[in-house]
Amino acid sequence: MSQFTLNLLVIGASFALYIGIAIWARAGSTAEFYAANRGVSPVMNGMATAADWMSAASFISMAGLIAFTGYDNSTYLMGWTGGYVLLALLLAPYLRKFGKFTVPEFIGDRFYSTTARIIAVVCLLVVSITYVIGQMTGVGVTFSRYLEVSNATGLWIGAALVFCYAVLGGMKGITYTQVAQYIVLIIAYTIPAVFIAMQLTGHVLPQTGLFGTLNEGGGKFLATLDQVVTDLGFKSYTGHHNSTLDMVLFTLALMIGTAGLPHVIIRFFTVPKVSDARSSAGWALVFIALLYTVAPAVGSMARFNLTATMWPGAQSGQTFSEPAVSLDAIETSPELAWMRNWQTTGLLNWEDKNGDGMIQYYNDAAEPGETLAGVIAEQGLVGNELPTVNNDIMVLANPEIANLPGWVIAIVAAGGLAAALSTAAGLLLAISGAVSHDLIKGAINPNISEKNELLAARISMGVSILVATLLGLNPPGFAAQTVALAFGLAASSIFPVLMMGIFSTRINKQGAIAGMLAGIVSTILYIFTYKGWFFIADTNMLPDTPAHWFMGISPASFGTIGALINFAVAYLVSNATEEPPEHIRDLVESIRVPRGAVGPTAGH
């Protein structure tokens, strides 16, 4: 059986499973569509939350970014996991106790303002659409390789599938689909990691293999990888090279952005009780940890295997002891079929610049050290001949690079799609709920019937899928980079207003509105100043480089600054205007005070 046929069978079987679940669990009411009728068990909700949370950015892109940058991109791991802890401890139980369907509904009621609710809808739409673009990017990358179609065709296939099960099932169908998708993605991520860890280090656990000894050469894995990449002119893999300020701000942006993600927050509205919200958060952390503790090993081993493909001597830590890979080998060798396969997608490419029949891979932009300079002098290299290696291919290509069995490759393909589609569905549900429940029912037509509200939710989800797919054709970065921008937007707009809404009785509607607007507008302007995306086609207003960033703060890190602006503006405006009404202050107290507590300060 050919690899293509195997891919088609495994991916097709997973799709049939998702659609079958959606038909079985079809939502028949708004309560089922928005919150699965609040009947999801904590363990199942934890698994569904993990799938909702671990998107294409986590499955496909994060390890790729770690593979090519190393320690400095561990910020993704620290920020995303730390942010989930913030969400579980500071927001989820209180929002569930409030008992609403959506985040904008909480904001509208807490700040006694339809305007605040509408602004929250706008913030949610900006965040969620940016986030879902990253998922569609991952879908396009996966389909383009494994179904041998163009990136654009892959996007449209993925959009059609999401439309089938998300529009049909709502939160009820999506929940059970995400449970299945979690099982698929965690198996797909773990199995090849175990295979590769055993190949390279003899360790069954990738987490320990990362610190183990290479089977060939006998050196410590990370030390050998450091030697290999520095010999090739790259920065050391385990060293810290970027701005510490930007690294801290970026980690914080991911953390508070995580805690403000509406599609994750609404998962806690699906459990029966407040205590179940805490319990499901704990289970979700366990399920997330199963992937996140493996990701550093996956990224580093992918980088090592890629380098060993180009320079066979890397296996023993002697990078230049053997010739680089030849063009003849790429064209004929079964072991290098992965290069031919990925070249057809346009995500991997090479060029024999000096006509020696070899493809050399090294950093021609780096300051040449003695080893690199010697190679250039001896072999007459004229530049890196592997100019295109898209970060998003590394996890997907890793099993092929390591020559793992065909069924493992097929499972990885299904896992990548499961990760992207599970998060896309959650985001689209958050979008449709904001449009139908908060905008149409909450502001435009409060008397709309349940049947028409459900229809509006499904129509808005369909339109959102179309918009996300169109924007996904020209994303502003790799999947994880695009998602990082969404986290910055959530950090600057949604997280501060939720925190102040739960833990402060003094913040009023004027402060909340001013804070949200100040936070998200400042962050959007900063991002578009350097990214130039949407408004200026393929050009930027300023070069997107550290030398041009304000105080060295990257666009993805500015969400932390935007959050501080939001907090400061909300505080100043609230203290310059009247206090919230007494019933709102009582409402805030009731959210945080446990049932049965005695005294006005109980539970603080």
The CATH number that applies at residue 456 is 1.20.1730.10
- Residue 497 within any structural domain of the chain: yes
Dihedral sign (CA 437, 443, 447, 448): negative
Count of alpha carbons within 13 angstroms of residue 495, beta-carbon side: 31
Classify residue 343: in a domain, yes or no.
no
Question: Has residue 352 been placed in a domain?
Answer: no
pLDDT of 593 reads: 66
Mean pLDDT, the chain, rounded, equals: 82
Q: Is 305 or 137 the better-scoring residue by pLDDT?
A: 305
Provide the pLDDT for residue 396: 84
Question: To which H or E segment does residue 596 belong?
Answer: none
**Single-letter residue type at 601:** T
In a domain, 371, yes or no: no
* Dihedral class, residue 475 (left if φ above 0, else alpha if ψ from -120 to 50, else beta): beta
| Count of domains observed in the chain | 1
Q: Please identify which residue in the block is written with the tokens 């390279």.
A: 200
Q: Which residues, 6+ apart, have CB-to-CB distance to 512 below 8 Å?
A: 107, 111, 113, 116, 497, 500, 501, 570, 574
Residue 153 in this model has a pLDDT that exceeds 80: yes
The CA radius of gyration of the chain, in Å to the nearest whole number, is: 25
Q: pLDDT over 70 for what percent of the chain?
A: 86
**pLDDT for position 65:** 84
* Residue 506 pLDDT level (bands cut at 50, 70, 90): very high
Query: Quick check: is 554 in a domain?
Result: yes
User: What is the band of 541 on the pLDDT scale with cuts at 50, 70, 90?
Assistant: low
- The parent domain of residue 508 ranges over 3-301+400-592
Q: Does pLDDT of 537 surpass 50? A: no
Specify the pLDDT at position 522. 94
In a domain, 425, yes or no: yes
CA-CA distances (angstroms) from residue 277 to 36, 45, 65, 452? 14, 9, 32, 30
Which pair of structure tokens corresponds to residue 485? 């921008």
The neighbouring-strand residues paired with 389 are: 348
Identify the pLDDT of residue 73. Answer: 84
pLDDT in tens, 210-250: 999 988 777 899 998 988 888 888 888 898 888 889 999 99
What gap in Å lies between CA 201 and CA 216, rounded to an integer?
8
Is the predicted pLDDT of residue 389 greater than 50, yes or no? Answer: yes
Residue 549 — left, alpha, or beta (φ > 0 → left; ψ -120 to 50 → alpha)? beta
User: What local confidence, expressed as pLDDT, does residue 187 receive?
Assistant: 92
Would you tell me how many other CB atoms lie within 10 Å of the CB of residue 552? Answer: 15
How many beta carbons lie within 10 A of that of residue 449, not counting itself? 11
pLDDT score for 599 = 43
User: What count of other Cβ atoms lies within 10 Å of the Cβ of residue 23?
Assistant: 13
Residue 10 or residue 319, greater confidence: 10
* Backbone conformation region of residue 219, classed left if phi is above 0, alpha if psi is from -120 to 50, else beta: beta
Task: Output the pLDDT for position 1.
Answer: 75
Question: What integer pLDDT is reported at residue 251 of this predicted model?
Answer: 92
Among 180-184, 304-308, 595-599, name the one with the lowest average pLDDT. Answer: 595-599
Question: What pLDDT, on the 0 to 100 scale, is given for residue 482?
Answer: 67
- Looking at the predicted structure, is the pLDDT value of residue 53 above 50? yes
Mean of pLDDT values over 574-596: 84
> Tell me, what's the pLDDT at 575?
95
Distance (Å, rounded) from C-alpha 278 to C-alpha 434? Answer: 24
Please tell me whether residue 389 adopts helix, strand or coil conformation: strand
> 112 φ, ψ to 5°?
40, 50
Residue 171 lies in a domain: yes
Question: Helices 75-86 and 479-503 meet at what angle, rounded to 10?
Answer: 30
- pLDDT of 320 > 80? The answer is no
Identify the pLDDT of residue 535: 41
Helices in 147-220 by DSSP H: which ranges?
Answer: 151-201, 206-209
**CA–CA distance from 373 to each of 354, 363, 379 (Å)?**
16, 11, 10
DSSP-assigned letters across all residues of 153-167: HHHHHHHHHHHHHHH
CA-closest candidate to residue 312, choices 320, 397, 106, 501: 320
Is the pTM value of this prediction over 0.85?
Answer: no
Residue 34 is predicted with a pLDDT of 61
Question: Given a cut of 80, is residue 435 above it in pLDDT?
Answer: yes
pLDDT above 90 coverage of the chain, percent: 21
Residue 564 pLDDT: 97
In a domain, 29, yes or no: yes
Residue 421 and residue 174 in contact, taking contact as beta carbons nearer than 8 Å = no
507's tokens = 């913040």
Mean pLDDT score, 472-497: 76
Looking at residue 115, what is its pLDDT? 93
User: Which of these ranges, 45-59, 315-329, 338-352, 496-510, has the smallest mean pLDDT?
Assistant: 315-329
Residue 80, both tokens: 């995303």
